Amino acid sequence: MTPSSLSVRRFPLLAAPAVLLVLAGCAGTPTADAAHDGDAGTAWSYDGAGSPEHWGALSDEYDVCSTGTEQSPVDLPAPTKGAPLDLVAGAPAKGLTADNGHTVQFTADDGATTRIGGEDLHLVQMHFHAGSEHTVRGEAADAEFHFVHADGKGALTVVGVLAEQGAHNAAYDSYVAGATAGAGRASTVDIGAMLPEGRSHHAYSGSLTTPPCTEGVQWIVLEDTVELGADQLADLEAAHVENARPVQPLGDRTVEHELR
């Protein structure tokens, strides 16, 4: 996405194989108000000439991918089981799930909300990475899900959920089915059922994990993991695997154990 007005709305899914819906903004604050593939002639990827170490050189628009000081993902400390996140999921959200070339993305219909830290935020979209982008003490999980929210001005809060192979998780069935559908598929995302029961979490200021890597994103990564069945992970990995940006330097930032 590119800088523009600060209205919050849902975006048409970009269907071109090499295009990812990205959320960006102006003045260092990413916003959720336009769908854009960055530089139309610039292809980025997770390997080869377009891989993460080259993102900053692919386009002037992606420069912060290499020059930014608050980039995501990061390596997280050991779980602390600290203050629980004030998170109240709204009604199950309906929308469209489709492969956008870099991940399988659920794009929510208008009206989907989640209350986080006492504020009602719009659920914009969710997607996955396999393995995880955030690591914990240097260890990656089997997968990571990002639930992307925007406030009334378009500023982004992303709830990250790490997943490990285990028992089949029926709450993810509708979303995983979209990974195998090929074309877009109507889906329902029930955040209340998809998140782990525990709400202890890590919070820090970071960025988008894909170009243009815009900073100013509020990250909340839940400490407890969810389990997915081997069949569910296999379906996701058949769509995309190793679609994770490596961890970035934490620098002067501090990972908090409660949302401030």
- Omega before residue 12 within 30° of 0, cis: no
Q: Which CATH class name applies to 25-239?
A: alpha beta
pLDDT, tens digit (0-9, with 9 covering 90-100), for 94-128: 999 999 899 999 999 988 999 999 999 999 999 99
Domain map (residue ranges) of the chain: 25-239
Is 10 or 28 the better-scoring residue by pLDDT? 28
3-state helix, strand, coil in the chain (%, to 5): 15, 30, 50
The pTM of the full predicted model, rounded to 2 decimals, is 0.85
Phi, psi of 67 (to 5 degrees): -105, -15
Q: Which tokens hold the place of 231?
A: 């069949």
CA distance 14 to 227: 30
- Per-residue pLDDT tens digits for 206-255: 999 999 999 999 999 999 999 999 999 999 999 999 999 999 999 999 99
CA dist 104 and 243 (Å) reads: 11
Is 102 among the catalytic positions? yes
Helix (H, G, I), strand (E, B) or coil at 146: strand
CA distance 70 to 215: 6
Specify the pairing of strand 215-222 against strand 156-165: parallel
| Helix H or strand E segment including 120 | strand 119-129
The 10 Å Cβ neighbour count of residue 45 is: 16
Residue 39 pLDDT > 90, yes or no? no
pLDDT at 30: 55
pLDDT at 33 over 80: no
Q: What is the pLDDT of residue 32?
A: 52
181 pLDDT band, cuts 50/70/90, is confident
Q: Phi first, then psi: give them for residue 105, nearest 5 degrees.
A: -115, 130
Confidence of residue 139 (pLDDT cuts 50, 70, 90): very high
Which position among 36, 102, 129, 240 bears the catalytic label?
A: 102
Q: pLDDT (tens digit, 9 = 90+) per residue, 61-90?
A: 999 999 999 999 999 999 888 788 999 999
